[in-house]
Amino acid sequence: MRHAYRRHRGRLTGASDIANTLAKGGGGAPGLATTQFLGVPSRPADPECQAGLVALKSRSIPAGEAVEQSLAALAWLRQQGCLQIVFKYCSTFDATAEGNIGPVGEAIAAELGGRGVVACPAFPGAGRSVYMGNLFVGDVPLNESSLRHHPLTPMTDSDIRRWLRAQSSQPVGFIPWTTVSKGADELRAALAKCAAYCETLVIVDALTDEDLLAIGEACVEAPFITGGSGIAIGLPRNFLRAGLVETAQRTFRPVQGRGAILAGSCSQATLAQIAEHERAHPVLRLPVVEIVEGGVTAADVIDFVERNEGRAPLVSTSQPPGVVRALQARFGTEVVAHAIDSLFAEAATALVSRGLRRLVVAGGETSGAVASALGVESLDIGPEIAPGVPAVSTQNGRLALAIKSGNFGQVDFFARALAALEGTAG
- Contacts for 83 with CB less than 8 Å, ≥ 6 apart: 3, 4, 5, 223, 239, 244
Pick from 147, 205, 149, 195: which is nearest to 174 by CA? 205
- The superfamily (CATH) of domain 8-241 is Putative sugar-binding, N-terminal domain (3.40.50.10840)
The Cα-based distances of 7 to 60, 227, 308 in angstroms read 18, 10, 39
The predicted pLDDT at position 13 comes to 61
Q: How far apart are CA 398 and CA 50, in angstroms?
A: 23
Distances (CA, A) of 376 to 248, 259, 367, 394: 25, 18, 11, 7
Model confidence, pTM:
0.81
d(CA 259, CA 312): 6
Name the maximum alpha-carbon separation found in the chain: 64
- C-alpha span between 155 and 58 (Å, rounded): 18
Q: Which residues of the chain have pLDDT under 70?
A: 1-14, 147, 149-153, 247-251, 426
pLDDT, residue 8, reads 44
The CATH class, in words, for 259-376+387-421 is alpha beta
Cα distance between residue 230 and residue 63, in whole Å: 24
Is the Cα torsion angle 353, 356, 360, 362 positive or negative in sign?
Answer: negative
The length of the chain is 426
Query: pLDDT tens digits for 97-125?
Result: 788 999 999 999 999 988 999 999 999 98
Q: Residue 250: what pLDDT?
A: 60
37/163 Cα distance (integer angstroms): 29
| 233 vs 229: CA distance, rounded Å | 8
Query: Which conformational region is residue 317 in: left (phi greater than 0), alpha (psi within -120 to 50 degrees), or beta?
Result: alpha
Residue boundaries of the structural domains of the chain? 8-241, 259-376+387-421
Nearest residue to 180 via CA among 172, 191, 169, 171: 191
